[in-house]
Structure 1
Amino acid sequence: MRLSFLEPLYAEPGPFASVYLDTSRDVEHPERAIDLRWRRLRDALARQGADPPTLTAIGQVVGEDADVPGPHGQAIFTAHGALVLDGELPQPPAHDSARYSTLPDAMPLVTQHLPDIPYLAVLVHYRGLPTAETHGTVTVQAEAGVWPASTVAPGERLHLQVPVAEWHDAAVRLGHRLDEWARHQGSDAVIVGGNDWAGNVLVRRLPGGLRRRTVRVAGPAPTDTGRALLEPQLISVFHGRPAAHDLELANMYIGRRALHGAASEGLAATVAALQRGQVSALLLNHPPLSSLRLWTGPQPSQIALAEDELRSFGVRAPHEDHADEALVRALVGTGAELVVVPQDELPLRDGVGALLRYTDAGTP
């Protein structure tokens, strides 16, 4: 998973206020409920030392996602009285939380974006007899998305209506258009739902490479819910499924580790590689790592297991931070990716490993 969407978080130094809040409106008196939740979090931040301008900056955007339907949440980050990032959460946080710390508490936002699968969803609707003489139209909706973030931030959507007598020929042209779209999006899968006959016509006319990545699902009549197209079906298709890119990186790690190649394992070795900017992808078993602590300096690569180590590098005033905060900043700052893998599929010492850009004699 690429973390470039977090870059605004690290453009300025902290301290940061990080807030995770359930802002769903499928309850009675939702605005009042959200306000009460925010009051509790605001008091918690104040006790942690957050200044009034920082609290005001958060309060100004809490609940501004009123146009997002269904269950969801907000992740809000501020520093020095200014909003830094306001992100939508595909699911409400398990618990509302607020943290005032040197680094932003970004790992919960990252994990809500996993498995980060790019896809196309296509809903084909037609009612009637599938004959060329039948009057009527085939209605098509198609949407590009990245699962699960697209549930609350749907992507570009295509709308198309075709006379049923022209559907066979139109499906060929649409198939090529979808293929080009999927290539541009880097889609792992194409989910096709809706009417059996019209949907099957389209699937049979998709280019071969795209057809092999296509999953047929049952789908409802076209509606505009404001959520991702075919969201219930996407949940079923993508449950427990990793992104193809992340799976490729995990397999690459397994191969390199077996050959003692450009890979590290364990927290100490991985932190040392992050210090040198060697990590191309960090692999984790159990995010977040809030129970662990690391020492950090002003720069992303200034990360260590012990305070003295950073001082020996010339860092004058190291900070002890949550490990997940320090690791996410190091990954974003060095352009590295994050791959979360279940422990039963790829057990890692200390729950941490890394693919390296290069190796040298100093690599542990």
Structure 2
Amino acid sequence: MNLTALRETLDHQGPFASVHLDASHDTEDAAKQAELRWRAVREELAGRHTPESTLGALEGALDRPPPVGRAGRLLVAAGDTVLVDEYLPSPPPTPMVRVSELPYLLPLADWGHRGVPHVVVSADRTGADLLAVDRDGTEHAEDVAGQEFPVHKVRGGGMAHHNIQSNAEENARRNIVEAAEEATRLVQRIEAELLVLVGDPESRSQLREALPDKLRRTVTVAEIEHNRTSDPDHDTVDQDVANLIAQRRRAERDEVLDRFGEAGGHGLAVQGLRDTTAALREGKVDVLLVDARTIGDATVLVGSEPNMVAVDREDLHRVGVSERIAARADEALPAAALAVGARVVAATGDEPRLDLAGGVGALLRYT
């Protein structure tokens, strides 16, 4: 879900019903389990006086067939409209059900859930299969059929031997070039951060060389050894690609934390609720960091605009704003960050804890 769509949720009036639940569909009784989970969630929402129109909207969303596999799902609704409906790579340890004046969006910013737009190219001399996965997890499949004859060097051929050899080389070269061109188009289309080249060593090397220099400088290019003919469904590649994506997430996490450590010495990083809320009020936040396990049930005050957040009334009154509501910090701070165009990154699951005072901090655009 893109930032613009998320920001638009803040234009709606609460109360918001936010549900983060297990949406796995990987067992024979998955449909029954999903029904039981929704029944429990519905009872809890009804017990919190959620309007029937909101319950109906959520129920309608859950009626749609889920994807096969293990997954989590975050839904946010207000009135009779579902504002957020996102599948996540893994389910939460326990269901999370909230009815509050602000939406609960933090799971979308979890390190382990961040979408890494990527393109996988499985190529050989006969053609290529391409799969692009955008930031929202939507898949786009393409194939490059290549030239059918001839595609391999031959030993015989009589007087035409050299021509056949030349044609084989030219067709193989053209197939690789077409695969590189299609890969480049897909990378640009989904703004990919990772390009994975799959195939035998020669095909991967030729494919890498056929990529534009600019693409190789701006996108991470990785390689996986694989035989496209013997494994056309790419089953053996999936886990390797998942590992590469996980590595990229960890590298990004480390890079942000390194930036945070370095920025602190130059006044470009803050931590703790008071300093972080002050930076959000001033619109200075570039990246908001939240450790949901440390911030816990902490609350803040929210004024008339989403980024008008503070620990106490005096902080708001000093900028001429009256508090409108008291809200959970793990709801109010991501909303404030979205309002000022900041990126939100969070640790909510099994990742190492972020060493932040009060579980919150921010990288600043300026001092």
**1:295 CA displacement:** 1.7
| Letter matched to residue 11 of structure 1 | D
Overall identity of the aligned pairs, in %? 28
Deviations 1:255-313 (A, max 9, x none): 3322x233323321111011111212223455673332212233111211124544665
| Letter matched to residue 81 of structure 2 | A
Distance 2:22 2:34 in 1: 7
Distance 1:202 1:332 in 2: 39
Deviations 1:319-354 (A, max 9, x none): 222211011100111111124589979743333332
The answer to whether 1:279 aligns with 2:289 is no
**1:236 CA displacement:** 1.2
**1:180 CA displacement:** 5.0
| Letter matched to residue 243 of structure 2 | S
Greater fraction of residues in helix: 2
Pairing of 1:102-113 with structure 2 (within 5 A) = 102-111=101-110
Relative distance call for 1:305 and 1:245 in structure 2 (3 A) is: same
Distance 2:19 2:351 in 1: 29
Which residue of structure 1 aligns with residue 196 of structure 2?
A: 191
The answer to whether 1:30 aligns with 2:30 is yes
CA contact (8 A) 2:144 2:175 kept: no
Which residue of structure 2 aligns with residue 255 of structure 1?
A: 262
Distance 2:93 2:352 in 1: 24
Relative distance call for 1:176 and 1:281 in structure 2 (3 A) is: same
Which residue of structure 2 aligns with residue 222 of structure 1?
A: 232
The answer to whether 1:353 aligns with 2:341 is no
Which residue of structure 2 aligns with residue 55 of structure 1?
A: 55
From the CA coordinates, give the structure whose radius of gyration is larger: 2
Which residue of structure 2 aligns with residue 42 of structure 1?
A: 42
Which residue of structure 2 aligns with residue 329 of structure 1?
A: 335
Deviations 1:41-98 (A, max 9, x none): 01111112212221111111114143x2222233211112322222222223332221
CA contact (8 A) 1:190 1:210 kept: no
Among 150, 163, 179, the alignment partner of 1:174 is: 179
For the aligned residues, what is the CA RMSD? Answer: 3.4
Which residue of structure 1 aligns with residue 159 of structure 2?
A: none
Query: What is the number of equivalent residue pairs in this alignment?
Result: 339
The answer to whether 1:242 aligns with 2:239 is no
Pairing of 1:57-72 with structure 2 (within 5 A) = 57-66=57-66, 68-72=67-71
Which residue of structure 1 aligns with residue 141 of structure 2?
A: 157
| Letter matched to residue 14 of structure 1 | G
Structure 1: which 5+ residue stretches go unaligned?
A: 127-136, 360-364
TM-score (norm 2): 0.79
| Letter matched to residue 24 of structure 1 | S
| Letter matched to residue 276 of structure 2 | T
Among 121, 132, 135, the alignment partner of 1:144 is: 132
Distance 1:18 1:345 in 2: 24
User: SS state of the match for residue 239, structure 1?
Assistant: helix
**1:35 CA displacement:** 1.3
CA contact (8 A) 2:119 2:187 kept: yes
Once the two structures are overlaid, the 10-residue window that deviates more, 278-287 or 311-320, is 311-320
Deviations 1:133-190 (A, max 9, x none): xxxx72412233246x52xx32x33211113331223313432443454355443321
**1:108 CA displacement:** 1.5
Relative distance call for 1:298 and 1:290 in structure 2 (3 A) is: farther
Which residue of structure 2 aligns with residue 73 of structure 1?
A: 72
| Letter matched to residue 143 of structure 1 | L
Distance 2:83 2:291 in 1: 29
CA contact (8 A) 2:289 2:360 kept: yes
TM-score (norm 1): 0.79
